[in-house]
Amino acid sequence: DIMFRLSTGALRRRLFSTTSTVIKYEEFGVPSKVLKRESQNLPSLGANQVLVRMLAAPINPADLNSIYGTYGQRKVPAVAGNEGVAVVQSVGAGVKDLKANDWVIPAKPGFGTWRTFAVADSSALQRVPNDIPVEYAATLAVNPCTAYRMLNDFVNLKEGDVII
Catalytic residue among 25, 71, 136, 148: 71
The pLDDT of residue 143 is 75
The pLDDT of residue 123 is 96
Q: Which helix (H) or strand (E) holds 56?
A: strand 49-59
In this structure, the chain runs to a length of 164
Bridge partners of residue 118, in order along the sequence = 52
**Is 25 considered catalytic here?**
no
Q: Which residues of the chain have pLDDT under 70?
A: 1-17, 73
Predicted TM-score (pTM) of this structure: 0.80
